[in-house]
Amino acid sequence: METTHNPSKGVVVITGASAGLGRSCARKFAEAGYDVGLLARGIDGLEGAKKEVLQLGRKAVYVQVDVADAQAVEDAATKIENELGEIDVWVNNAMNSVFSPIKEMQPEEYKRVTEVTYLGQVYGTLSALKRMLPRNKGAIILVGSALAYRGIPLQSAYCGAKHAIQGFFDSLRSELMHDNSKVRTCMVQLPAMNTTQFGFVKTRLPNKPKPMGKIYQPEVAADAILFAAEHDRREIYVGYPTVQAIVGDKIAPELGDYVLAKTAFEGQQTNVPEDLNRKHNLWEPVPGDHGAHGGFDAEATYSSPQLWASKNKFKILTGALSLGGVVLGALAAQKWLNNNED
């Protein structure tokens, strides 16, 4: 049933919405009261995502699209506005990757990962700006990663694309500020997550790939992305490991090189041999509705104290100032009493 029970909070477009983080974002925004435009290549996952949004009482429209095709993204935006109304939030989430040593990578693989992971965000932003700038409102979320600052072995194409997004984001922010635009933008930097990509991406590793380090469920990142859409933040880091990687790279990049050289090859692989002939999603989607989670539920966490602190930093600061005022007042009162004792 496609009718809603309450007025819509707005319309959000999510790329890469059929699985993984995008799927979790679709649920999160629907729960928050948004109608959802779903963009992805996999039809099975798109239909599953639409069903979930409808079950949450919101409207949903999906468009089967490859975000590497700029005209297809623009056509999808037009379709969503025609059916759902003005787009209020655009979440650039679609990505692709290849797990492989650089010496074994092929030029066409770099091209493909860059077109999806980087240019897909550029094309989505252009379509969003085309609609938001004349209205002087809206929010564009770019989904980044700790790897937008700190490249790691075996994911050079993905790391390069995420670094490119970071540079594009800086330019976009500056131009919007110059124009005094009320269109907001935020880049959300993610940690390792338990998403479906590790079963989908093309790999040359001997064992099955895995997220490196502490693993977070995609719901944690989806919460951060919803927060970014509704608050004026330049950048949001998700999880302490993201803070550690970004800040650490600014302070001691050579130490990062050394540590990753020693740990990142084994750290990105399980102990289970990989079938190098399995289907991957570099060129075409893997059939089926795969949901939001990957195969690491037993290791993944649903919480991030660091993200909570980031979201509530103004409340924390206000509380600290209030507490400081109380303490100073008590000390002043005690001093007055001491000075006025007989």
Dump the DSSP string for 86-120.
Answer: S--EEEE-----EE--GGG--HHHHHHHIIIIIIH
Kindly report the CA angle at 159 between 219 and 141, in degrees rounded to 5?
45
CA distance 178 to 172: 10
Helix (H, G, I), strand (E, B) or coil at 78: helix
The Cα–Cα gap between 336 and 330 comes to 10
Contact (Cβ atoms closer than 8 angstroms) between residue 94 and residue 40: yes
Tokens for 57, please give them: 């009482």
How far CA 80 is from CA of 39, 68, 255, 295, 314, in Å, comes to: 10, 18, 47, 32, 36
The Cβ of residue 322 has, within 10 Å, a number of other Cβ atoms equal to: 10
Question: Catalytic pick from 158, 237, 240, 302?
Answer: 158
**3-state SS class at 198:** helix
Can 216 be counted among the known catalytic residues?
no
Catalytic residue list: 158
